[in-house]
Each structure stands twice: as structure tokens, then as C-alpha cells.
Amino acid sequence: MTEAQLDSATRRRLIRFGIGLEAVTLGWNVVGVVVLAVLAYTSASVALLGFGLDSLIEIFASVVVIWELTGAGERRQRLALRLIGVAFVLLAAYLLVQAVVALIAGHRAAPTPGGAGWTAATALVMFALAFGKARTGRRLGNPVLITEGRVTLVDGILATAVLVGILLDGLFGWWWADPVAGLVIVAYAVREAVEIFRGGEDHPAE
């Protein structure tokens, strides 16, 4: 069913639900930035620092979608998405330098239970939110919500990658797993930036 086929009451309800999903995403990531900043500082983890920076981008993306769902203009939406693309480029550049330096210097992070616990919880929450956004976006016929839902899905995948890096380091002493997990975020940031600047060609509306 497309947006045009929805009755006004159903459409309003779905829009409110979509805004609610973005509000939960926003709130979780605001808390996450603080938590990850502390965990990254105490453990000297490149991957946790990068994931915290990724949370900042997710916050901005959620604001963009809330803005669009409440009737913001398409021109302003395009500008905001371009700014997200710039943020992804800066994130990738910063993390690439940090990860390469850590690998060359043999930097060893100090894995903590807090880092593992937060990334595991984040993965579960992001996967659930991504499912809700995809379903709601399809019912509304809203490509913005669908696309941001994919960003949230990848956010969950990134949390899983960081968690694996922490566990491998803590269980087997594979210190290189942490900066390699950081490089996973670099690859993700570059891919998202390219897709945004290409105008979302690889993310067609469903």
C-alpha cells in the first residue's frame, strides 16, 4: 500500500510511529555518545571511539528524518543529507589515520566488560529499530525513512563488529582486532558518503 492509498488517520498514525522510532534512536545515541566517550577513554579503544562518532552521525540522520516527516522542505532535506555525507567523510578520514597509527605502533586497547555490554545492547536495539523503520517506511511509501532504516541496520552491524573485536582482544589477546574493527567503520562511512553524494542511486525507494 502506498502513501496515496492510505487514509489520513492511518497515515498520521504511521507518521507518529515513524517519528517515535526516530526519537528512540535519537535518545539511545545521545546517551551512547557519552557512554562510548567514557569507555573509549578508559580502554583506549579506536573502535569504540569510532562507534561513538558514528552515533553522532546517526543522531543527525534521525533529526533529518524527523524534520522530513513533520513537513520540512525537500530542498532543506537534500542539504541536510549532503551535510551527513560530509560528516561521514570526516569520520572515515579520522578513523583511518587512528587505525593505521594503532596498527603500526602496535597499540593495545584495554577491553572492558562495559564496552562489550553496551555494544551488545546497541546491536539488539538498532536491529529492532531498523525493522520497525523499514516496515513503517514501506507502508508510508517514504524513501527517506526506508533509507535511514538501512543506516540504523548498518549501525547494528557495526555494533556487532565492534563487539567481536572487543571479545577477540579480551579472550585471545588479538590486539589488532580493535583497530581492524575501526577500519570496518571506515569502509561503512565511505560507502554511505558515496551513496549520499550520488543521490542515493543504490538505495531506491521500495
Task: Give residues with Cβ within 8 angstroms of 203, minimum separation 6.
Answer: 143, 146, 147, 150, 195
pLDDT digits 0-9 by tens, 61-105 = 888 888 878 875 677 767 777 877 787 888 788 788 878 887 887
pLDDT digits 0-9 by tens, 129-157 = 999 999 999 988 887 888 788 888 888 88
Would you state the pLDDT for residue 129?
96
Distance CA 19, CA 67 (A): 9
Would you state the pLDDT for residue 75?
76
* Residue 11 pLDDT grade (very low, low, confident, very high; cuts 50, 70, 90): confident
